[in-house]
Chains A and B, each alone.
Chain A
Amino acid sequence: MAYLEVQDLRIAFQTHAGRFNAVNGIDLAIERGEIFGLVGESGCGKTVTSLALMGLVPPPGEVNATRLNLDGVDLLGRHDWREVRGRRVAMIFQDPAASLNPTFTLGEQLEHVIGHHLGMKGTAARKRAADLLLDVGLPDAERILRAYPHQLSGGMQQRAMIALALASGAQFLIADEPTTALDVTIQAQILRLLRSLRDKHGLTILLITHDLGVVAQTCDRVGVLYAGTLVELAAAARLFRGPKHPYTQGLLAALPRPGSRGAELAAIEGQVPSGLAAITGCPFAARCTRVFEHCRDVMPMLLEVAPDHGPDHGPDHRPDHRVACHLYAGTEVTR
C-alpha cells in the first residue's frame, strides 16, 4: 500500500454560472520518501488537489473520491482535521512573507508550534527550535529566533517557513511553488535543501510547480495535470527523455532553451477549456495537433504505455509510465 493513495479525486465548485469542475478524477499513489512533482499551468487544478489533502478546499468546493488515504489514515469525509494538519501534513507556499506572521518573532512562532504539537516548553522548546533552524540551513539560530520575518531575506524566510512546517513533526510536506518568488541562485539552494531533508528525515514531498526545469532537477516522479486531469505520470528521467502525451511534448517544445535563439517556439495554440464546460472526450483534443475522431468522443484513461512504444525499452525499462492518450493503445493497469 502506498504512503498516499488518491483514487478518482473530483473537486467541483457550485458557482452562479454553473458547476465548475476543477479536478476531474485523479488517481495518484505516492511512496514514502518520494519527491513527487505535480506540474501544470495556471488553473489546471494542482493547488486545489493539494488543498484537498489537508481539508482546506474552500466552500463551496465539494471534494469526492473513492479513496483518499495518507499513511493508513482515511482523509475522506473527515470533519476533525487536527490529527492530520500539522501533525502529519505540513504545507509551504510561494510567498513566505505572506505565510509567516509579521507580528511575532520566528522563535515565538516556532515555539508555539512545538508546544502545541510536541508539548515541549521553555528551554526544551527553544533548543528544538534552534535545531530545526540548523536543519534548514540557518546556523545563526540565536539571531534568527529573535528576528521578525521582515528582517530576513526571501531565501531565509522560505527556510524559516520550512522549519515551521517541520516543527510539528509532519512527515508529509506539500510545497506549493516554493521557489517561484525567489531568484535562481536562491531557488537552487532551497531545492537542494528539500532533497537533503528527504534524504535525512525520510520526508515525503509533494512539489507543486509550473516549472518543468525545477521538476526535472528535484523530483523522483512526475504527474502532468491538464484541465483537472492527470494526462501523464512517470519517473522524472523517463518523462523528460521521452514525453508521451502531446500536451507534455507541447510544454517541453514551448520552452526556450540554449540554442533556440531566433527560432520559432512551438506554442500550443488555443486555450484551456473552462471547468464550466462539460467535456466529452479528451480535454486536450481541441488543442492537440495529433487529434483524431475517437479523441472527441471518448475520454482516454490513464494507462500504462505498452513497452513496444517509443525508444525506451531496454534494460532500464520499468513499467511505470502512464499516459492518458488514445495514441498509445496501452494495457490497463490493475489497481
Chain B
Amino acid sequence: MTLLEVRGLSKAFPIRSGAFRRRLARVVDDVSFTLNAGETLGLVGESGCGKTTLARCILRISEPTTGEVVFGGQDLVKLGQGALRARRSELAIVYQNPYLSLSPRLNVHDLVAEPLVTHTRLRGSALTTRVVELLEAVGLSADDLSKRARQLSGGQAQRVAIARALALRPKLIVLDEPTSALDVSVQAQVLNLLVRLQREYGLAYLFISHNLDVVQHLADRILVMYLGRMVESGPTSAIFAAPKHPYTLALLAATPEPDPDRPVPTITLEGNVPSPLDPPPGCRFHPRCPLAQELCRTQAPALRPLRDGHVSACHFAEELPGA
C-alpha cells in the first residue's frame, strides 16, 4: 500500500548575487518517488545533493516550490496550518546530532513527553507511564527520566530522539543520517534498534545517508541523487549488484571497505560537485563522469525505466561496466 507519493517536487532558493540580481538555486529538481507502508527507502548522495532539503519539503519544515507530497491520500502541500498539524503526528524526523536536536534545557521525561503534550490529552501519571513505555521500547529505562541530553552518551541521546519520534505512533519516520555521528559499535546498536522498531510497529523509513553500507543494511529500495536530481533508483540488491548510473558506480567504488582483498575500484571521480546555481548543461554529472560522451554535454538524460524496477538517468545505462 502506497503511504507516500512525491510527485515532481522542486525547491529553489533565491540567492543574491550582486546588488540587484537574484538567481534561483534549484536545490531539489523534479523528484518523484513512492514509499509503501512498512518499507524503507534509502536516499543517498553527497553534501549538497538536496537529500536533506527534499526530506524537509516532505515534512513541510521547508515549503516546496512546486510538486505534490501525497501522504495517506492527501496532498500535504495544499494543507493549511491546522490540518497540517493534525497530519504531522503521523510523520516524524530523527536528526544526525542528538545533542543539537534535543533541547539542553529539558530532561529526558520532558523531551519525550513534549510531542504527547502538544498532540494528545495525556497528562500526569498516564503521561509518565507512556514516556517510560517509549523509553523501554528504545532500550532505555525509567532511571534515565531526570537526565539531560549532555549526561547521556551519543548512542543513548540518539535513543531519546528516536523515542520522541515514536511518541505519536507515526507511520513514517525520516531518519537524516541518524548514525553518522556515532562510533561503529554504537551505530550497530542503533541500526539493530531501528530494524526491530520497524518490524514491531510497521514503520516506513525514509533513510538519508551518505554511507552506502549503512543504507543497504536498512533500505528495501535506494534513490540516488546528484545535484538536486534523481539519477538512479531501484531495489537495493539490484543497485548493489549492477548500478545503472556511473555516479552510483563511483559512489560504490569510493566507499572504503575493510577488506584488503577487494578488487581495485573500476571508476574514480575527479573534481567537485558543481554549484546548483550554475548546473552544467546536458547531464549534470557529465563534467565528472569518466564515461561522458558528446551527447551528455548537450542533452539532459531523462529518467528511464530499465529491468527489475530499476530507473536510471543515463544515456548509456545499458553499456555500463558491471560493478
Contact = CB atoms under 8 A, between A and B. Distances in A.
Interface of A: 41-42, 153-156, 183-189, 191-192, 210-218, 236-237, 240-241, 250-252, 254-258, 260-262, 264-268, 271
Nearest to B218: A261
B258 A216 contact: yes
A215 B258 contact: yes
A187 B253 CA distance: 12
4 shortest interchain CB distances as A-B pairs? A213-B256, A256-B217, A254-B188, A267-B188
B251 A184 contact: yes
B272 interface: yes
A268 B183 CA distance: 11
9 contacts: A41-B185, A153-B272, A183-B47, A183-B273, A184-B211, A185-B254, A236-B260, A256-B188, A256-B191
A117 B80 CA distance: 65
Interface size class of B (residues with CB under 8 A): 35 or more
A236 B257 CA distance: 12
Given A188-B268, A212-B184, A255 B213 contact: yes
A42 to B, nearest CB: 6
Contacts of A183: 46-47, 210, 273
Given A254-B184, A265-B217, 16 more contacts: A153-B272, A156-B272, A184-B254, A188-B265, A214-B256, A216-B256, A240-B258, A251-B185, A255-B188, A255-B213, A261-B216, A261-B219, A261-B236, A262-B217, A267-B189, A268-B185
Contacts of B260: 216, 236-237, 240-241
B266 interface: no
Given A184-B46, A189-B270, A264-B192, A254 B259 contact: no
Contact of A213 (B46, B183, B185, B255): B255
Contacts of A268: 185, 188
A261 B213 CA distance: 9
Of the listed residues A41, A192, A212, A265, the one surrounded by the most CB atoms of chain B closer than 10 A to its CB is A265
A243 to B, nearest CB: 9
Contacts of A191: 256
B303 interface: no
Contacts of A240: 258-260
A257 B187 CA distance: 13
A218 B270 CA distance: 18
A153 B275 CA distance: 11
Interface in B236-295: 236-237, 240, 250-251, 253-261, 265, 268-270, 272-273
Contacts of A217: 256-257
